[in-house]
Structure 1
Amino acid sequence: MMMIQNWMVAHATKQQQQLRRLKITTHRVIVATFLFSISFFLFSPKIPRSPTHHQFADLRNLLGVPNTLNVITNFPFLVVGVLGLVLTLEGGFFTISSQAETWAWILFYAGIIGVAFGSVYYHLKPDNNRVLWDTLPMMVAYSSLFSSLVIERIGQRIGLCCMCALLFAAFTCVLYERIYDDIRLCLMFQFILPLAIAAAAFVYPSNYTHARYWFSSIGVYLLAKFEAVSDKKLYRANNYVISGHSLEHLCLALIPFLLSVMLIYRERKLKRLGDVKDQL
């Protein structure tokens, strides 16, 4: 019996050491990515938004609506965003264990609603003046999603501070692009934050069940980015039924849906005393 106990203690210690090494490695990768991004901003030339950014494959005008499918494929964002916001505010439907988490998820669903309206406004007449209304709500959604992970898995104080800092950074990036016609800060933000979300979901253990939905959402996000860069090729491949950009909208709308399912079905795990002390 004593041998079994010793083996269990040794095994648990080994797992903790492996997790600690993994966290250190992940922190180093994130810091290196951040430093690379700063170097990219400081030493690379200004990058204005290219006019080709607004040239999508599907330009059909159906029922008098310009770029029809690129517009109407934003409707799922509105449905999921409104339902998610209402259920979060209701307080008894989603499994959310702290007020800080509630604030983060409220902001996330508000950002998704903003994506619906902002993207519709942009796609009705795509240009540099309207694109910020498409970009900013998505950056707000990224910020709140990462903050909710930090609040849940690392600590409430650092998560709330992170959320405030990221929101300030999102508005600063968009304002900088608007004033100087330079998309470098927005590119950095949109590159670093999804990477940070994936890293945090992988490295830090969840306090809830059904954490696999985070990884499903990451997979859907990668698929959406593939569809975005393959806009014209996918449009030709399906005989001009739907473009890659419209498919990207549908894929991205699936992410808040998956996370909402997670919030409905997940349950709080029993925490060890040591884990509780680490978050205080």
Structure 2
Amino acid sequence: MRFPYRHLPVVVTALLAAAALLHGPIAQPESYHHFADQKVAFGIPHFADVISNLGFAAVAVWGWIKLAPARRHPDIQSGWAGYSLFLIGLFLTGLGSSWYHLAPDNAGLVWDRLPIAVACGGLLAGVRGDVRHEESREPAAWLALVAIVSVGWWYFTDLSGRGDLRPYLLLQGLPILLIPLWQWIYRQPASDRLAFGAALTIYVGAKFAELNDHEIAATLGVATGHTLKHLLATGAAALIVGRLANRVQAPLKACADAIPPAPPSAMNACR
């Protein structure tokens, strides 16, 4: 591997951080909490925006059931600390975002954004440890702290009348750039690059839907942009979890499919 390539992720992160500093504070739009979904169903206000969050929790539970028992598997062991943080953040996103959408305001938005930031940090730590074959526990701990600080920075600057989303937005944007870059530098399998690339592309689509909440609601009629964002982001998370689950299950399936009278050497290779 050529020397400069290893440092590209650090360079990209530094450039983005510098651009954010030069740009200056990014305030939350005053109309942020005015979502298109105003329907009440079964006594639940903003029903679609609330219920569509439960997919995050479902994917997280599915991921934990599939991956936690195999956390020592060589294909996820290095990244497990990060991936487990990703699953925890994903589960809490389902709860926190549902709570926020019942009565949208800044106080509730903290419990929406905090687990999203934690999930982003966990995914970064997991993939980094994965591709570099390095234990991801320490990076996961640091990125969890960064996630908390990024949301705290926005909330307390907003209370002072100068809200600043830059750290939070930077943490959300980094996985979109760094994960494909890491996977390219360390020559990850095409199946990994395809699955993660598709997931990140879908997530970008989810952010587009979020930014066009009312316009999509007016066009589709049956769904709003923000509800669609939740569904797309859930699908993106499911792609990532599914790919990780396939990694740890593929060798077991190969062994299960082996012909019973196979020689002992062949069976030992499956262990």
Instruction: State if a TM-score over 0.5 links the two structures.
Output: yes
What is the CA distance between 1:242 and its match in structure 2?
0.3
- For residues 126-165 of structure 1, the aligned pairs below 5 Å read 126-157=104-135, 159-165=136-142
Summarize deviations over 1:20-75 as a string: whole Å, max 9, x none: 38826xx457525524423533x555444332111111211122111110001111
What is the CA distance between 1:225 and its match in structure 2?
1.5
CA distance in 2, matches of 1:111, 1:204: 26
Aligned: 1:40 with 2:20: yes
CA distance in 2, matches of 1:103, 1:109: 10
CA distance in 2, matches of 1:171, 1:40: 19
Q: Secondary structure at the match of 2:204?
A: helix
What is the CA distance between 1:172 and its match in structure 2?
0.9
Q: Is the 8 A contact 1:152 1:206 kept in 2?
A: no
The one-letter amino acid paired with 2:151 is V
Unmatched 5+ residue regions in structure 2?
Answer: 159-163, 252-271
CA distance in 2, matches of 1:101, 1:211: 16
**Counterpart for residue 122 of structure 1:** 100
The one-letter amino acid paired with 1:34 is A
Q: Secondary structure at the match of 1:52?
A: coil
Q: Among 191, 201, 221, which residue is 2:183 paired with?
A: 201
Percent identity between the two aligned chains: 26
**Counterpart for residue 66 of structure 2:** 87
**Counterpart for residue 260 of structure 2:** none
**Counterpart for residue 213 of structure 2:** 231
CA distance in 1, matches of 2:200, 2:19: 27
Structure 2 length normalisation: TM-score? 0.80
Q: Among 105, 111, 114, which residue is 2:83 paired with?
A: 105
Unmatched 5+ residue regions in structure 1?
Answer: 1-15, 269-280
Summarize deviations over 1:120-143 as a string: whole Å, max 9, x none: 011011111111111111111111
Q: Is the 8 A contact 2:9 2:178 kept in 1?
A: no
CA distance in 1, matches of 2:76, 2:57: 26
Q: Is the 8 A contact 1:23 1:203 kept in 2?
A: yes
> Using a 3 Å threshold, how does the CA distance of structure 1 residues 191 and 104 change in structure 2: closer, same or farther?
closer
Q: Is the 8 A contact 1:210 1:262 kept in 2?
A: yes
> Using a 3 Å threshold, how does the CA distance of structure 1 residues 52 and 255 change in structure 2: closer, same or farther?
same
The one-letter amino acid paired with 1:226 is F
Q: Is the 8 A contact 1:201 1:214 kept in 2?
A: no
CA distance in 2, matches of 1:145, 1:127: 27
The one-letter amino acid paired with 1:90 is P
The one-letter amino acid paired with 1:186 is Y
Summarize deviations over 1:224-280 as a string: whole Å, max 9, x none: 122112211211111x21001101100100122112221232358xxxxxxxxxxxx
CA distance in 1, matches of 2:16, 2:77: 35
What is the CA distance between 1:153 and its match in structure 2?
1.0
**Counterpart for residue 224 of structure 2:** 243
The one-letter amino acid paired with 1:65 is I
- For residues 25-64 of structure 1, the aligned pairs below 5 Å read 27-28=7-8, 31-38=11-18, 40-41=20-21, 43-64=22-43
Q: Among 141, 145, 163, which residue is 1:168 paired with?
A: 145
CA distance in 2, matches of 1:208, 1:161: 28
Q: Secondary structure at the match of 1:156?
A: coil
> Using a 3 Å threshold, how does the CA distance of structure 1 residues 188 and 209 change in structure 2: closer, same or farther?
closer
Q: Is the 8 A contact 2:131 2:188 kept in 1?
A: yes
> Using a 3 Å threshold, how does the CA distance of structure 1 residues 250 and 32 change in structure 2: closer, same or farther?
closer
Q: Is the 8 A contact 2:50 2:102 kept in 1?
A: yes
Q: Is the 8 A contact 1:210 1:265 kept in 2?
A: no
Aligned: 1:70 with 2:52: no
- Report how many residues are paired: 244
